[in-house]
Structure 1
Amino acid sequence: MVTINNLEVKYGQQIALSIKSPITFETGDRIGIIGSNGAGKTTLVKSILGLTNYNGRIQTNLKPEQMSAHMQENNYVDTMAIKYIIEAILNTKIKSNKVLQELISFFNFENCLNKKFSALSGGQKQRLTIILVLIQDTPLVFFDEVTSGLDFETRQQLMNKITQWYENKEATICIVSHYYEELEKLASKVLILDNGEVVDFGTKEQLFQKYCGKSTITIENNKRNEELSKNLPKIIAPEHLIALSCLNENKELEIVKVLIEQNINFKRSNNDIEIMSINAKARFNGELKGGISNEYKAI
């Protein structure tokens, strides 16, 4: 569907994005694009959409009108009711458009139609733009920080709705988010960016096994757990956690047995994107060498 090769985007003299090896988005992919601020996530989306200048090649059989996007900033006129904004943008009438009616109902948006944009909550504003994106029914869709700034419950509701809407649909979805739990539910592939460069790209399963092992066990980072886990295989984790890597089922059972015997609360995962991306970036930046980690190899 889309192949990116030898791509470079500059803002002035600064390289904002550099993709040297080919990356291909296939039909039906659910791609999570992650990275810290300034990593090049939005620049990548704008490049594919043709909204920014770049050097290199983006090959696609799609026409511009076959791509749609929900960008970070979306503002609308505040002098008319939302229903008229929707009808003006889409050049259709809600009463005569069954798909639009279905979307409005699906997102529980009926009570917002007579309001002005400024009267909508953050979640309602996002729902408005999502409806305008989804009704285009394009083969390639981008969601750029669609739930940024929203509370946890609203984020969950929106992501569940998007996931449900695209269930059994062949559209390729690219979602930029810094909420890892959202990507764990939606994404089948992950593209990790760091300082404008590609750290890695692949399926969640491939990348997790590559950087974390078969599974991870996480426990609270405190003195007792630090002492208890000093001879166990650790990988890099957020500061408040200790992450233990399990290369196989026997190692996992071994670690779990120790934690249960010591009455330690733990969480087991085989798709923790946050820990996977932390370790991927560490290896990419030369902080780790060889296998999953030097610490692991020493066990």
Structure 2
Amino acid sequence: MITINNLEVKYGEQVALQVKTPITFEEGDRIGIIGSNGAGKSTLVKAILGLINYKGNIRTKLKLTEISAHLQENNYPSTMAVKYVIEGILGIKIKNNHQLNDLISFFDFENCLNKKFSELSGGQKQRLTIILVLMQNNQLVFFDEVTSGLDFETRQNLMNKIIQWYDDKKSTICIVSHYYEELDQLANKILILDKGKVVDFGYKETLFEKYCGKAIITIENNIQNEKLAEKFKKILSPEHLIAIPCYTKEMELEIANRLINKNVNFKRSNNDIEIMSINAKANYDGGNKNECEVV
């Protein structure tokens, strides 16, 4: 669907993004794009959309009309009521489309239809773009921090709606998010960016096994647990946790039994995106400055 190769984006003299090894988004992919602030996530999205200048190759047969995006900032005409903006972009009448009316109701947007875009709050502007993106049902869709600033319940409802909406569609979805649980819900592939470089890209399961083993067991990081975990290999994790990788079922059972016998609470996971990404970035920084092989 789209292949990116030898891509470079500069802001002035500063290199904001480099993609040396080709990465390809296939039809039907659900791609989570992760990285800290300044990693190049939004820059990548804007380059693909043709909103910023770049060097290199972005190859696709898609027309711009077949791509839609929720960006962190979206602007629309402010001289007319929002309902006319919606109807003009979608080419349909609101009153005649049940699906559109259902979305407007779901996002509690009825009272915004007669307002001008400039009169909407930040959250209402965000909802307008989401409605437009969903209704276009395009082949390639970007959601850039679509749940940023929302409370937990609202984030969950929105993610469930997005998942449900695209469940039976072949659209390729790319979601930029700091919320790892959202990526776990939606994504089947993960693109890890750090300081403008591609750390790794591939299926969630493949990347997890590459950096964490078959599973990990996490326990609270305290002096007692640190002593208990001394005999086991540990990988990087958030400061409040100790993460122990399990490369075989036997190893996992040995660790679990030791913790159970010591009455220590633990969590077992085979898909922790946060810990996987921490170790992927550490591996990348730790020696090989060439981009990791894309899996």
1:173 is aligned with what amino acid? I
Q: Distance in 2 between matches of 1:161 and 1:109?
A: 15
Number of the residue aligned with 1:291: none
Map 1:97-176 onto structure 2 (within 5 A): 97-110=97-110, 112-113=112-113, 124-176=124-176
- Over the aligned positions, Cα root-mean-square deviation in angstroms equals 2.1
Separation in 2, partners of 1:238, 1:165: 33
CA-CA distance at 1:18 after TM superposition: 0.5
Tell me the residue number matched to 2:190. 190
1:86 is displaced (CA, Å) by 2.4
Shift of 1:91: 4.2
- Does the 8 Å CA contact 1:123/1:154 hold for their aligned counterparts? no
**Structure-2 separation of matches of 1:80 and 1:48:** 30
State the alpha-carbon separation in 2 of the partners of residues 163 and 248 from structure 1.
Answer: 33
C-alpha spacing 1:81/1:224, structure 2 compared with 1 (3 Å): farther
Alignment correspondent of 2:253: 253
* Alpha-carbon distance in 1 for matches of 2:272, 2:223: 24
Aligned to 1:62: 62
Shift in alpha-carbon separation, 1:168–1:240, aligned structure 2, 3 A: same
Please say if residues 2 and 26 of structure 1, whose CA atoms lie closer than 8 Å, have aligned partners that are also in contact. yes
2: CA distance, partners of 1:181 / 1:119: 33
- Gaps (5+ residues) in structure 1? 289-299
Q: Which moved more, 1:111-120 or 1:191-200?
A: 111-120
For 1:253, the aligned partner's letter is L
For 1:27-46, list aligned pairs within 5 A: 27-46=27-46
SS, match of residue 235 in structure 1: coil
CA distance in structure 2 between the aligned counterparts of 1:238 and 1:198, rounded to whole angstroms: 22
Give the structure 2 partner of residue 296 of structure 1.
Answer: none
Asked if structure 2 preserves the Cα contact closer than 8 Å seen for 1:81 and 1:113, the reply is yes
Question: 2-side partners of 1:33 and 1:209: how far apart?
Answer: 18
5+ residue gaps, structure 2, are: 289-295
Q: How many residues were matched structurally?
A: 288
The 5-angstrom pairing of residues 18-97 of structure 1 reads 18-75=18-75, 82-97=82-97
1:5-54 CA-to-partner distances (Å, cap 9, x unmatched) read: 11111111111111111100000000000001111111110111111111
- AA partner of residue 17 (structure 2): L
| Counterparts of 1:121 and 1:152, CA distance in 2 | 19
Deviates more, 1:147-156 or 1:14-23: 147-156
1:7–1:19 CA contact under 8 A, matched in 2: yes
Question: Relative to structure 1, is the Cα distance of residues 60 and 76 closer, same or farther in structure 2, using a 3 angstrom cutoff?
Answer: closer
Question: Per-residue deviation at 1:277?
Answer: 0.2
Distance 1:47 1:119, change over 3 A: closer
1:269 aligns with 2:269: yes
Retained in 2: the 8 A contact 1:31–1:187? yes
Q: Determine if contact 1:107/1:161 at 8 Å carries over to the other structure.
A: no
Q: Per-residue displacement from partner, 1:83-127 (whole Å, max 9, x unpaired)? A: 344234434320123442243245454455456667867655433
TM-score in terms of structure 2 length: 0.91
> What is the percentage of aligned positions where both structures have the same residue?
72
**Matching residue's letter, 1:149:** G
| 8 Å contact from structure 1 (residues 235, 243) kept in 2 | yes
Structure 2: how far apart are the matches of 1:256 and 1:82?
A: 57
Cα distance in 1 for partners of 2:112, 2:225 equals 50
